[in-house]
Every structure is written in structure tokens, then in C-alpha cells.
Homo-oligomer: A and B are copies of this chain.
Amino acid sequence: MGASKTDSFTDQQNELAILAKALGHPARIAIIEFLLKVDTCICGDIVNELPLAQPTVSQHLKELKNAGLIKGNFEGATICYCINESGFEKIKGFFLDITKYLEKKKNDCC
């Protein structure tokens, strides 16, 4: 096959997987880190920051946008990109559960 059997899983599981998958590429991690570093909305500039061709960067930006991890609005000739809060809020709950679990976990049998 090759296609994931998304129908067999819950909406929440699929949604989390989509968010994680979007972060599953070093270029997309680099984009997020850059947006965090400059701590403001960035108009243009992202292509110059990455060691990839413009169409490739555009594609990665599109995937991050589709997943809901960044926002991008036209600001004249360029596009203004920034972190999309709501996407990261969704992942946060998942990691909070894991952190809580790790804190109380004492039966380290493995």
C-alpha cells in the first residue's frame, strides 16, 4: 500500500500525527526556530535563511501552514509569516500528559 490507514484511528490521533509529521523535517524545524528567534512576523527572508531552492521552501511553508503551525498573510508584495499559536496548543496537551506520566513513573522495569 503506502497510504496510512487513517480511518482506523481517532480524529485526535490523526490530528496529532499530522502536526508531528509537519515538524518531521529539518527544514521545517529550521523555519519554526527562525520564527522563534526573530520573535516577530517575518516578511520574506525565509528563503534566504534555508539551504534550499525557493520552490522547495515554498512547499515546506505550505505544509506548515496546512498543519496549522504557522500563519502567513500578504503584506504588500511579500508575505508575513509567524507562529500559529493554536497549532502548538494542540500538541502541548499531549506533551503535558507525557510529562505528568514521566514525573510519577517510578516502576522503571525496562
Q: Across the interface, which residues of B come within 8 angstroms of A80, CB to CB?
A: 109-110
Q: Across the interface, which residues of B come within 8 angstroms of A40, CB to CB?
A: 107, 109
Given pairs A21-B25, A80-B110, 15 additional interface contacts (CB within 8 A):
A4-B25, A4-B26, A5-B26, A9-B27, A13-B29, A17-B24, A18-B24, A20-B21, A20-B23, A20-B24, A39-B101, A39-B105, A83-B102, A85-B102, A88-B99
Q: Are A8 and B95 in contact (CB under 8 A)?
A: no
Q: List 27 A-B contacts (CB under 8 A).
A: A4-B27, A5-B51, A5-B52, A6-B26, A8-B51, A9-B27, A9-B29, A9-B51, A14-B26, A16-B23, A17-B25, A21-B21, A21-B25, A22-B24, A24-B24, A36-B98, A39-B101, A39-B105, A40-B107, A40-B109, A72-B110, A80-B109, A82-B108, A83-B98, A83-B101, A85-B102, A92-B95
